[in-house]
Amino acid sequence: MDRLRLSDSLEMSRIVYGMWRLGDDDDVSPSHIQAKVEACLMQGITTMDQADIYGGYTAKGLLGSAFTQAPGLRDRIELVSKCGIVAPTGRYFGAKVKHYNTSSDHIMRAVEQSLSDMRTDRLDVLLIHRPDPFMDHEDTGKALDRLVSDGKVLNVGVSNFALSDWTLLQSAMTTKLVTNQIELSALHHQPFLDGSVQWMQERGVPPMAWSPLGGGDLFGTRGAIVRAVLNRIAEEQRTDVAAVAVAWLLAHPARVLPVMGTNSLSRIQTLGDAMRVEIDRETWFEILTAAMGQDVP
């Protein structure tokens, strides 16, 4: 598995295991969650992606139970987490409305809760989960800088940020933001065309890509045309459609980090197959053309 350096203190595996569905499995025992992490590690997938809101604020505790059962497991991975979404469920059941909170107080409390839930003393990366239209960038930036200086968070970044959101927050910080996690797939390819990927590429910021299989739509009616092209390539290279779809993202020079989420242990064991798929320039555009439904201009 290839690795990518994002900062002096952070390397990530090119494929990331996303844990947003961790609490949806029929088996949420510590041993089963450990088996998922170990299946990733066997392929060199060492980066795990979490968030406060995953599983109605329960997914982090499930992972923490696995860390407790398997001492040393935490130190074999890079742990990414996100905060800032407050939904009226779980610990925020009393919230009047779903909203974003990027205040210093909320971020500090969220990190302390994350460290407690996951039984760890640091996060390798903390992301602000969504751009907050009510953000006080000075307050937010100060909180993120302090978490890094205190050693509770080693790196910070954002998720779903436009360039204007990024530059606003970065202007109030001394710590460099290391990534932006965005929706990106063959079915959601607009970020390759509208400047979203380009500004990150210009700044040397590798994007993390959530829903790289289009939230499963790639295997439904909506994805039929693209899937036909992916399937032909998969047959030629003796792999499957998912591996080709992920390889399409990996091939881009922006150094995309796909975040793969599945609860199937057998599927987890094949996530690394995408690294063996070859996508040249013409093949990349062939997939884009199918996704667009027309030739490029």
User: Catalytic residue numbers?
Assistant: 54
> Residue 44 — left, alpha, or beta (φ > 0 → left; ψ -120 to 50 → alpha)?
left
Please count the CA atoms within 13 angstroms of the CA of 264 that sit on its side-chain side: 6
Distance between CA 141 and CA 146 in Å, rounded? 9
Distance between CA 155 and CA 127 in Å, rounded? 9
* Among candidate residues 152, 146, 204, the one with its CA nearest the CA of residue 174: 146
Q: Cβ(122)–Cβ(164) under 8 Å?
A: no
Neighbours of 205 (CB within 10 A): 20
Q: Cβ(179)–Cβ(204) under 8 Å?
A: no
Kindly state the tokens that stand for 6. Answer: 């994002």
Sequence-distant (≥ 6) Cβ neighbours of residue 197 within 8 angstroms: 184, 191, 207, 252, 254, 256
Sequence-distant (≥ 6) Cβ neighbours of residue 244 within 8 angstroms: 230, 233, 234, 237, 274, 277, 279, 287
Sequence-distant (≥ 6) Cβ neighbours of residue 262 within 8 angstroms: 21, 268, 271
